[in-house]
Amino acid sequence: MKNRYVPIPPLFFFFFFFFFFFFITLHYASCQLPPSQLTTMTNLRELLQTKWNSSSQDLPNPCSWTGVLCNQNNSVITGLSLSSFSLFTIQDASSWSSLVCGIETLETLDVSNNQLAVIAPPLLLSSCGGGGLKVLNFSFNMLSGNIPSFQSSLEGLDLSHNSLHGVIPDQITELVNLSVLDLSYNQLNGPIPSGIDQLSKLQQLLLSENNLSGSIPSGIGQLLNLWQLILSVNNLTGEIPPSIAQITTLKRFSANYNGFTGSIPLGITRYLSNLDLSYNKLTGSVPSDLLSQPNLQTVDLSFNNLKGTLPVNVSKSLFRLRLGSNRLTGVIPLWSFGNDDPSLAYLEVGNNSLTGMIPPELRLCKNLSLLDLSHNNLTGYVPRELGDLNKLQVVQLDHNSLSGEIPDEISELQILNKLNMSWNSLNGSIPPSLSKLQKLMNLDLQANYLTGQIPDSFGNMNSLLELQLGKNRLSGVIRSLPPNLQISLNLSRNNFEGPIPASLSRSQSLEILDLSNNRFNGSIPNFLTQMGSLTQILLSNNLLTGSVPRFSGKVNVSTEGNINLSYPPPTSPSVDRKNNNAASVGIVVASAVAVVTFIILVVAAVIVSRKFHRVNDDETPHSPQLEVIKSKLLTLNVIHRTNIDFTKAMECVGQLSSLVLKTKFSTYYKAAMPSGMSYFVKKVDPSAKIFQLGRHDLIEQELETLGRLRNSNVMIPLAYALTVDSAYLLYEFTDKGTLFDVLHGSLKKCLDWTNRYSIALGVANGLAFLHGCPSGPILLLDLSSKGVMLKSLDEPQIGDIELSKVIDPSKSTGNLSDVAGSVGYVPPEYAYTMRVTMPGNVYSFGVILLELLTGKTAVSEGSELAKWASAKSKEKHNVDQILDSTIRWTSRVVKDQMLAVLKVALACVNVSPEARPDMRNVIRMLLNTRN
Ligand SMILES: *[C@@H]1O[C@H](CO)[C@@H](O)[C@H](O)[C@H]1NC(C)=O
Ligand SMILES: *[C@@H]1O[C@H](CO)[C@@H](O)[C@H](O)[C@H]1NC(C)=O
Ligand SMILES: *[C@@H]1O[C@H](CO)[C@@H](O)[C@H](O)[C@H]1NC(C)=O
Ligand SMILES: *[C@@H]1O[C@H](CO)[C@@H](O)[C@H](O)[C@H]1NC(C)=O
Ligand SMILES: *[C@@H]1O[C@H](CO)[C@@H](O)[C@H](O)[C@H]1NC(C)=O
Ligand SMILES: *[C@@H]1O[C@H](CO)[C@@H](O)[C@H](O)[C@H]1NC(C)=O
């Protein structure tokens, strides 16, 4: 080993020390460390070639180096944090460990977040750190094999997030000073050592996400200092020992996702704040005092086999209660809370067998924001008093036997986001006042006995993305529909009549349209063929007449059961895109002619249909709505400033031939400028944050802010144009399309691992930038491979950032109405936290990483990629089969790097948001895989 260190005689140091310490000021003395420690640190710096500062070369004072902890008067080193120092095993592990262990006063050593594959022997000797080593942190490394034996001075041992195998050795139970033991996120099997009760100082025992089996040792109740016991996601069985209830210090107990049986011990929550026993096989009833304990904050017992009734006494401090998917019976009790408002915000008791009425007394739960009573046997009316719960965001009452009318008072729920009352026996008409629910995104009233018409006022429900009214007794001519429907409009199985409503054409992003089994008459309007997002159109069993217009091949159209409909002759085969192997030039020319003719016809049809139906279509060029009120250049780049021509840009908007891409929330057009340069013109979706600002001046402010951002991996608007009701943003043109298109399309084979790795780093870089914005983190609402544009095969750009929301996470504002992610990318906790978070974005990023690694889509064959990969990665021998076979076998080096990146991805898609790394760490971890 090359050692460029020139030893300095200790005597020199002595004099040096003496001089400064006694004759100048105490303050001036920048180094008082014993010479041996100074030497060690200098050597360590050489050896690790670290990021440690060498600026103060004359008087290196290691106590001021990053990660070096000294005692109060800086006379000895007490701790070293080499976290994220890119340490890997090839750097002579024994050398650095020996050096570190030579620091006799060392108490803590943190080497988390590196790529260490072994714990070098010196660190295990009882002489390490002069025998006084107290904390050893090897979390987030690449340790494999069995857990070694440690010195008994340890008070904290963190080996979490590695690949340790085998059983937890009994030697662990000899570390009697331990107060923190974290072995979570490994592949340990076997039982929890029965001698664990010997660790009488233990405060935190974290063993989640392993494959531990057997039962919880009953001696656990003797750990009288324990405050955190986390056993989630293992294969533990047996009963939960009643002795746990005796630990007066225990605050948090999680044993979800195991195979525990038996009943819930009495008194288990006496001292707890948080209890999670969901996803087990627990039986028996919920103990009557379980929910009444004064310190209790969250209880999750969902997905068990619990019977009996809901406890009558509920603590005022209880914030989240989840008892769904059990076999609970009886009525919802009249909870009484005295004078104070209860904290209860999340009440989930769906999927049980509860009976009786919904008690009007629920109105006392003033903080309730989610109420899930679905899939029970509730009867009676929907109480008017629900209208008092003005923090409600989600109400799920579906699949019960509720009757009577929908109370008008529901319309008072100002921030209600989702209302599901489907599959009940509600009658009466739909209250017109429901249109006051201006935040409502999903309304599901299907399968009831509702009568009357769709209220005209529904035309003002601007946030509504989904409207389900099927299987009712609704009737009449439809005059108005919500303008921005996207997910689905289902009016099937009613008695609607009259023409297919023209106002439908406003919902240009609608995906599913079901009008079947009604009495709609007239012809099928041509504008339906222009709604580019539609995937299903169900028109069967109506009284429609005329001829069926020609729909694009990707739409599923059903029209049977309309006896007077006529069908145009079958499409000429030359127009069929699939038939492109045409051998003769003649056919090619004929096709071209046919295509051109077809386009002309379509355009003509559009114009004609617009004339006849007078649809309110804001995409017709030169319509008054497209009149630009204001346009402005944001970029300072002279090339763009001279190239961008707003008139030209706006001409392309709404032209089929310029449409290049339609994502879930935006439409991109390609605009060629007089100079020959091209730009993207993006029509911003009305659900974007900037529109929620309402006023034009605020929208402009927001766009200016976005335009000032600078990052090569984020699509930054170069200019904008505002019309009365829309905003158009101009971007640099990129012709590779979205990451989704490339990765899952024909270009897939061109994406080798090097490209994919650059894409991963690029997206990470963009996201870290957005999260780190000085003006406050920018959180993305819908991060997916469809929202990432490729400038080239290795330069990604995150798009649609105006859909984001600037949220101060410390105030944890933001709410469910901002959550609009795509299936497969939405982290599991959004279901109950109902807010967009940074860890939530990290999850979505993890899914994109998995797409790059596996070549699979975020949801395939009905299962989510994140869940599939997490499960698959636990099968020790098959881990590399997760990887995309088209790139898997290139070389050993590549495969190792892919496996290391897979670890990063799995950390990002962790079920628990707290366990996910932040984006800065993700970048570090990704860089660490490259060596
Ligand atoms: C190096 O020292 C300077 C001045 O003390 C400090 O600002 C900088 O953050 C240090 N760099 C590192 C990597 O610690
Ligand atoms: C170990 O390091 C990780 C990551 O740096 C940190 O989150 C964790 O709290 C540390 N563990 C202990 C016991 O200090
Ligand atoms: C869980 O443990 C049971 C026996 O207790 C065993 O049959 C099963 O295979 C284990 N499951 C896993 C995933 O290891
Ligand atoms: C709940 O209703 C379902 C369907 O109506 C019925 O099969 C079930 O027996 C009922 N359960 C109870 C506990 O009433
Ligand atoms: C709705 O049903 C209830 C009984 O379930 C009945 O008393 C009421 O008259 C019905 N209302 C209408 C408008 O049909
Ligand atoms: C309402 O609940 C049913 C059953 O849980 C579900 O299938 C449906 O998608 C829900 N509707 C909406 C709009 O979420």
Tens of pLDDT, residues 632-666: 888 888 888 888 988 888 888 877 788 887 766 67
Please tell me which residue, 293 or 807, carries the higher pLDDT value: 293
CATH homologous superfamily for the domain 266-426: Ribonuclease Inhibitor (3.80.10.10)
Q: How far apart are CA 648 and CA 844, in angstroms?
A: 37
What's the chain's average pLDDT? 83
Identical fold, 266-426 and 454-568: yes
Q: Above 60 in pLDDT, residue 606?
A: no
Q: Above 50 in pLDDT, residue 75?
A: yes
**What pLDDT does 531 receive?**
85
Note the CATH architecture for domain 454-568. Alpha-Beta Horseshoe (3.80)
> Would you place residue 580 in the very low, low, confident or very high pLDDT band (cuts 50, 70, 90)?
very low
| DSSP letter assigned to residue 41 | H
* Percentage, residues of the chain above pLDDT 90: 48
Tokens read off for 797 = 């750009």
Ligand 1 centroid–CA 142 distance in Å is 29
Tokens read off for 436 = 């006051």
Q: What is the 3-state secondary structure (H, E, C) of 729-786?
A: EEEECCCCCEHHHHHCCHHHHHCCHHHHHHHHHHHHHHHHHHHCCCCCCEECCCCCHH
Tokens read off for 314 = 């509920």
Q: What is the pLDDT of residues 112-123, one digit of tens each?
A: 988 888 898 888
Please tell me which residue, 384 or 614, carries the higher pLDDT value: 384
Instruction: Indicate the CATH number for domain 598-733.
Output: 3.30.200.20
Q: How far apart are CA 281 and CA 256, in angstroms?
A: 10
Q: Where are the beta strands (DSSP E) in 359-400?
A: 370-372, 394-396
**What pLDDT does 694 receive?**
54
| DSSP letter for each residue of 445-461 | --SS--EE---GGGGG-
Ligand 5 centroid–CA 372 distance in Å is 25
Q: Above 80 in pLDDT, residue 148?
A: yes
**What pLDDT does 92 receive?**
62
Per-residue pLDDT, averaged over 800-811, amounts to 50
Please tell me which residue, 487 or 409, carries the higher pLDDT value: 409
Per-residue pLDDT, averaged over 227-245, amounts to 95
Rounded alpha-carbon distances, angstroms, from residue 150 to 107, 153, 182, 320: 14, 9, 14, 40
Contact 286, 259 (CB under 8 A): no
Per-residue pLDDT, averaged over 520-540, amounts to 90
Query: Which atom of ligand 5 is nearest to 405's Cα?
Result: 1
Nearest ligand for residue 237 CA? 3
Q: How far apart are CA 120 and CA 161, in angstroms?
A: 18
Is 112 near ligand 2, meaning CB less than 6 Å away? yes
Q: What is the pLDDT of residues 257-311, one digit of tens each?
A: 999 999 999 999 999 999 999 999 999 999 999 999 999 999 999 999 999 999 9
Rounded alpha-carbon distances, angstroms, from residue 746 to 135, 424, 740, 794, 879: 52, 47, 11, 16, 27
**What pLDDT does 662 receive?**
72
Ligand 5 pocket, mutate which of 427, 429, 430 (most atoms under 8 A from CB): 427
> Would you place residue 924 in the very low, low, confident or very high pLDDT band (cuts 50, 70, 90)?
confident
Measured by CA distance, the residue closest to atom 10 of ligand 6 is 420
Q: Above 50 in pLDDT, residue 623?
A: no
**What pLDDT does 543 receive?**
95
> Would you place residue 47 in the very low, low, confident or very high pLDDT band (cuts 50, 70, 90)?
confident
Of the listed ranges 164-168, 285-289, 716-720, 823-827, the one predicted with least confidence = 823-827
Per-residue pLDDT, averaged over 576-605, amounts to 37
Kindly compute the dihedral angle of the four CA atoms of residues 591, 592, 596, 602, in this order, to the nearest 10 degrees: 30
- The vertex-35 CA angle with 31 and 36, nearest 5°, equals 130
Q: What is the pLDDT of residues 810-820, one digit of tens each?
A: 333 333 444 45
> Would you place residue 832 in the very low, low, confident or very high pLDDT band (cuts 50, 70, 90)?
low
The residue extents of the domains of the chain are 266-426, 454-568, 598-733, 736-931
Per-residue pLDDT, averaged over 420-449, amounts to 95
**What pLDDT does 139 receive?**
92
> Would you place residue 339 in the very low, low, confident or very high pLDDT band (cuts 50, 70, 90)?
confident
**What pLDDT does 602 receive?**
37
Contact 495, 472 (CB under 8 A): no
Ligand 2 pocket, mutate which of 108, 112, 918 (most atoms under 8 A from CB): 112
Of the listed ranges 53-62, 229-238, 844-853, the one predicted with least confidence = 53-62
**What pLDDT does 29 receive?**
43
Q: Above 70 in pLDDT, residue 90?
A: no
Identify the three-state secondary structure at position 663: coil
Specify the DSSP element, H or E, that contains 608.
helix 585-613
Please tell me which residue, 896 or 190, carries the higher pLDDT value: 190
Phi, psi angles (nearest 5°) of residue 15: -60, -45
**What pLDDT does 357 receive?**
96
Q: Above 70 in pLDDT, residue 881?
A: yes
Q: Does domain 736-931 have CATH number 3.30.1490.20?
A: no
Of the listed ranges 3-17, 342-356, 762-776, the one predicted with least confidence = 3-17
**What pLDDT does 842 receive?**
96
Query: Which atom of ligand 2 is nearest to 182's Cα?
Result: 13
Half-sphere exposure of 60 (CA within 13 A, CB side): 19
Q: How far apart are CA 371 and CA 398, in angstroms?
A: 11
Contact 778, 837 (CB under 8 A): no
Q: What is the pLDDT of residues 190-216, one digit of tens each?
A: 999 999 999 999 999 999 989 999 999
Q: How far apart are CA 114 and CA 120, in angstroms?
A: 14
Of the listed ranges 102-106, 378-382, 622-626, 912-916, the one predicted with least confidence = 622-626
Per-residue pLDDT, averaged over 151-157, amounts to 94
| CA-based end-to-end distance of the chain | 20
| DSSP letter assigned to residue 929 | T
| DSSP letter assigned to residue 826 | S
Closest CA to 757 of 931, 523, 568, 914: 931
Indicate which residues carry an active-site annotation: 782
Ligand 6 pocket, mutate which of 444, 461, 489, 514 (most atoms under 8 A from CB): 444
Q: How far apart are CA 130 and CA 149, in angstroms?
A: 18
Query: Which atom of ligand 2 is nearest to 204's Cα?
Result: 13
